[in-house]
């Protein structure tokens, strides 16, 4: 759809785009939607929640640590080689690098979440 058509059909939306009043910061994303859904559904209960590769990567300080985690879980058979490749691609090619998976999880993160 051409922008002229968007402007005609959706004048309010086009104004927001033009003046950039509405911005939503996305601090991370999961390339595997099934894993992301499980994380969202488990929400704050944490009962029976098993940390996944993204949870481990979010504890990393740098790309080297994240690579080690991904490779280790791949060797252990906990993630598929294809999923490991997608994670590595995101890690190496996304401008935010390791933070593209989300903000850093510091010690006590789960306890803080549980107490919310």
pLDDT digits over 44-83, tens only? 556 666 788 998 999 999 999 999 999 999 999 999 999 9
Contact 53, 87 (CB under 8 A): yes
Contact 58, 73 (CB under 8 A): no
Contact 52, 34 (CB under 8 A): no
What residue segments make up the domains of the chain, in order of their start? Answer: 29-114
Q: Is the pTM of this model over 0.75?
A: no
Determine the 3-state secondary structure of 28 from DSSP: strand
| Segment (H or E) for 88 | helix 81-93
């Amino acid at each position: 759809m051409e922008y002229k058509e968007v402007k005609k059909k959706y004048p309010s939306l086009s104004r927001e785009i033009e003046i950039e009043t509405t911005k939503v910061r996305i601090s991370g994303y999961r390339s595997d939607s099934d894993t992301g859904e499980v994380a969202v559904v488990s929400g704050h209960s944490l009962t029976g929640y098993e940390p996944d590769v993204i949870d481990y990567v979010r504890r990393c300080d740098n790309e080297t640590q994240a690579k080690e985690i991904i490779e280790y879980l791949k060797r252990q058979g906990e993630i598929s080689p294809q999923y490991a490749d997608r994670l590595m691609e995101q890690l190496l090619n996304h401008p935010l690098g390791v933070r593209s998976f989300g903000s850093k999880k510091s010690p006590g993160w789960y306890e803080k979440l549980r107490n919310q």
